[in-house]
Amino acid sequence: MSKSRIAAIDVGNDSLKGIFGKLDYELNIPNVIARDIEDRPVIGIEELDSKDPLEGIHIKVHSPALKENNVIYRVGELAAKSDNSTELDPGSSKSEEDQTLIMLFAALALDAVRDENAKTFTKNNNVLDTSYILGTGLPLREVKEGKDAGYRSKLLGSVHQIEFLITPKYQGLKVNIKFEEVKVYPEGFAAFINLVMDNDLNIINKDLIDKPILIQDIGGLSTDIAVIKNRNVDDDKAQGFNLGVSEALEQIREEIRSKHGVELDSRRDVVDIITKKTNRNHIMVRGSRTSVHDITDRILVDLAKKQYRLLRNVWQKNSQTEICYFVGGGSAVLKDYIKTLNNNLDGYNIDFFEDEKESIWMMANAYYKLISDHLKRTTKDQKSEDKEKKAVKA
């Protein structure tokens, strides 16, 4: 009988971040998929198993939750190299896209097939039967529209299967995924939890816990501004906007291709150019390091102005706010531009996470804290219930 394993997964618009088990495994996969054929061509197939599985995720996905079932995909880095790769489009809803589910199932399957989980899940021939307790989230806008319930019901009550095709080390394995429990959290609330509590949900930021604050989470396709009062998200005042960094990244990618003839595989490549520690905003053109500052600055300054306008509008409606924290992958991209605007304009009390990894992994970390706490409380309640039953029988 398979045991259930904890998974906390943030299917971000740039990449999926996953934390598993007792903090024993992490996954970061670019959120890119591409339809493919079953027998994809591979150079040196006899050396396939010496390669990293994350560089060659090639799967067939069977799930009643999908609009298009039994389709073969390349996922992540392998998909980014394809001519027909797809990333989530601006205006789309994360809860309603097949791509969100494909990324989620692929991540769970990649965790399940690891040798370290051999004693956790049962395996018959080449088929693993798995059970997960999942903590994940959706943008505030989608939760306010009630889409979290539909998303959760898609996952529960069905078996979802990932079949590894020509994937290093895992070729021929099938993973059946069932969920014992699924908790879907609003992203703004999750960010607040991560700011003020540790992994055991002990308060670590007492100065912040009771302050009225804003959390502006800038993602790929959307921006959530959570209004936190009395330790809770104010559902009426919290807002979600269809404004993220993906469109700007696509524009930068297109202008680099048009001006310099350089084809970047995905938005992730653009993010790397903008955020790298050395030679930031430079690319290699025919072997020469070339600045693309003129392109990135113009496009990102324009986006930073739009993000700043959102901040100003929400702050005006919540005038007693003490600080706004910027989180998410988009904040890492826009940090310097927003800081400059703020210094030159209103001078709001704003803060960013200087540790970019902490900002990017904030949602996954928060989901882990929340689902772990839920599991702990459920176990405690079950023990109390069992104790009461024994007492009645006695």
Render pLDDT for 234-275 as a digit per residue (tens, 0 to 9).
Answer: 877 878 888 888 899 999 999 999 999 998 888 888 888 988
Segment 335-363 mean pLDDT: 86
CA distance 333 to 314: 21
| Structure confidence at residue 329 as a pLDDT band (50, 70, 90) | confident
Alpha carbon distance 78, 238 (integer Å): 38
Confidence of residue 43 (pLDDT cuts 50, 70, 90): low
Question: 162 near 156, Cβ under 8 Å?
Answer: no
127 close to 22: Cβ distance less than 8 angstroms: no
Q: With pLDDT > 70 as the criterion, what percentage of the chain qualifies?
A: 92
Phi, psi of 45, deg, nearest 5: -65, -25
Q: Using the predicted structure, report yes or no on whether residue 27 has a pLDDT greater than 60.
A: yes
Whether the predicted pLDDT of 384 surpasses 70 = no
Give the residue-averaged pLDDT of 198-224: 82
Cα–Cα distance measured from residue 229 to residue 18, given in angstroms and rounded to the nearest whole number? 29
Q: Homologous superfamily of 210-360 in CATH?
A: ATPase, nucleotide binding domain (3.30.420.40)
Confidence tier at 45 by pLDDT (50, 70, 90) = low
pLDDT of residue 141: 81
- The reported pLDDT for the residue numbered 382 is 63
Report pLDDT digits (tens) over 274-299.
888 788 889 889 999 999 999 999 99
List, by residue range, all CATH 3.30.420.40 domains of the chain.
4-185, 210-360
Average pLDDT, the chain: 87
Confidence class for position 346, pLDDT limits 50, 70, 90? confident
Cβ within 8 Å of residue 107, ≥6 positions away: 7, 9, 16, 18, 27, 29
CATH number, span 4-185: 3.30.420.40
Looking at 78-82, 159-163, 175-179, 282-286, which range is the least confident one? 78-82
Amino acid, res. 87: E
Quote the tokens at residue 107: 């991540």
Residue-level pLDDT at 390: 62
pTM for the model = 0.84
Question: Does the pLDDT at position 92 exceed 60?
Answer: yes
Angle between helices 293-317 and 267-275 (to 10 degrees): 90
Instruction: Encode pLDDT of 148-165 as tens digits.
Output: 999 999 999 899 999 999
Q: Quick one: CA dihedral 116, 120, 123, 128, positive or negative?
A: negative
Distance between CA atoms of residues 85 and 33, nearest Å: 6
Mean pLDDT, rounded, for 163-171: 93
Q: What is the mean pLDDT of residues 61-78?
A: 94
Q: Is the pLDDT of residue 116 over 70?
A: yes
Give the phi and the psi of residue 226 in degrees, each rounded to 5: -90, 135
Give per-residue pLDDT as tens, 216-231: 988 888 888 888 887 7
Report which residue type is found at 129. Answer: D
Q: Cα-Cα-Cα-Cα dihedral of 265, 269, 270, 275, to 10°?
A: 180
For residue 75, the model assigns a pLDDT of 95
Residue 42 has pLDDT above 70, yes or no: no
**Residue 12: what residue type?**
G
Q: What is the C-alpha to C-alpha distance for residues 106 and 249, in angstroms, rounded to an integer?
A: 25
Q: Parallel, antiparallel, or unpaired for β 15-20 and 25-30? A: antiparallel
**Element housing 33 (H / E):** strand 33-35
Backbone angles phi, psi at 296, to 5 degrees: -65, -45
Tokens 């079949």 belong to residue: 163
- Torsion angle of alpha carbons 110, 113, 115, 118, nearest 10°? 140
Mean pLDDT, to the nearest integer, of 374-385? 74
* Contact call for residues 220 and 245 (beta carbons, < 8 A): yes
Report the C-alpha gap between 103 and 367 in whole angstroms: 17
Q: Which two tokens stand for residue 87?
A: 């990333």
Given a cut of 60, whether residue 46 has pLDDT beyond it is no
pLDDT bracket for residue 343 (50, 70, 90): very high
Work out the pLDDT band at 381, boundaries 50, 70, 90.
Answer: low
Q: Which two tokens stand for residue 165?
A: 């095709």
Q: How many CA atoms lie within 13 A of 68 on its CB side?
A: 10
